[in-house]
Structure 1
Amino acid sequence: MAIYIDPPIWQARGRLWSHLISDLSFDELHVFADRLGAPPRAFERDHYDVPEEAYDHAVLLGAAPVSCQEVLGHLRRSGLRRPKFSRPGSFSL
């Protein structure tokens, strides 16, 4: 299984969040997220937003803890990266 999770450092809605990704397929990612109990609404283009309190459970289920930069690198190399729409002249990862 090629599932990765970055540390819960992203602040939103009064909580800290991680990004859960696959470098194999979205099908693999959706199956893992379902096992984790992540709701479908947590999927955002190419990753699931996972609250801090679910981080340890994700790792226990088999997600490999990696840095934020590694998450982005895995997505780019796999071809699964789906960046937000960007306007000409703007910067998007």
Structure 2
Amino acid sequence: MAVYVDDAVMAWRGQRWAHLMADTLEELHAFAARLGIPRRAFQDKTSGAHYDVTSELRLRAIELGAEPISRHADRAKVRAVIAVAKAQGRGLAP
């Protein structure tokens, strides 16, 4: 099982943000807690279950073992991770 953080570092509210996703919701929530992200920040959407993380937290997530995935270099991997996140957001996956 794995936790992933993408490189979709988008500007919002004066910061740059990426997405933290995982193979299971249990892993996702546990990893977010390790990063100090409150559960209320969880985004359980049909677009994909995830936590938004700042660029600084993205780097910390990688230090803690999250697998960085690139929407530019790892397209197949990113599609697979997003497909799982979407299923999770619809309540169709663990």
TM-score, scaled relative to structure 1: 0.73
Asked if 1:82 is matched to 2:92, the reply is no
- How far is 1:41 from its partner? 2.7
Query: Per the alignment, in what secondary structure is the counterpart of residue 44 of structure 1?
Result: coil
Which whole-Å CA distance do the structure 2 matches of 1:42 and 1:71 have between them? 22
Distance, in Å, in 2 between the alignment partners of 1:73 and 1:37 is 26
Aligned-residue CA RMSD in angstroms? 2.2
Which sections of structure 2, spanning at least 5 residues, go unmatched? none
* Alpha-carbon spacing, 1:7–1:79, altered in 2? closer, same or farther (3 Å): closer
- Which ranges in structure 1 are unaligned for 5 or more consecutive residues? 84-93
Whether contact under 8 Å (2:62, 2:68) holds in the other structure is yes
Question: Is contact 1:8–1:55 with CA below 8 Å preserved after alignment?
Answer: no
Question: Percent identity, aligned pairs only?
Answer: 41
Cα distance, 1:2 vs structure 2: 0.7
Whole-Å Cα distance in 2 between the matches of residues 50 and 78 of structure 1?
16
The 8 Å contact of residues 17 and 51 in structure 1, kept in 2 or not, is answered as yes
Mark the CA change 1:17 to 1:79 in structure 2 (over 3 Å): closer, same or farther: closer
Structure 1 counterpart of 2:69: 66
SS of the equivalent of 1:16 reads: strand
Report the counterpart of residue 5 of structure 1 in structure 2. Answer: 5
For 2:78 and 2:42, how far apart are their aligned partners in 1? 15
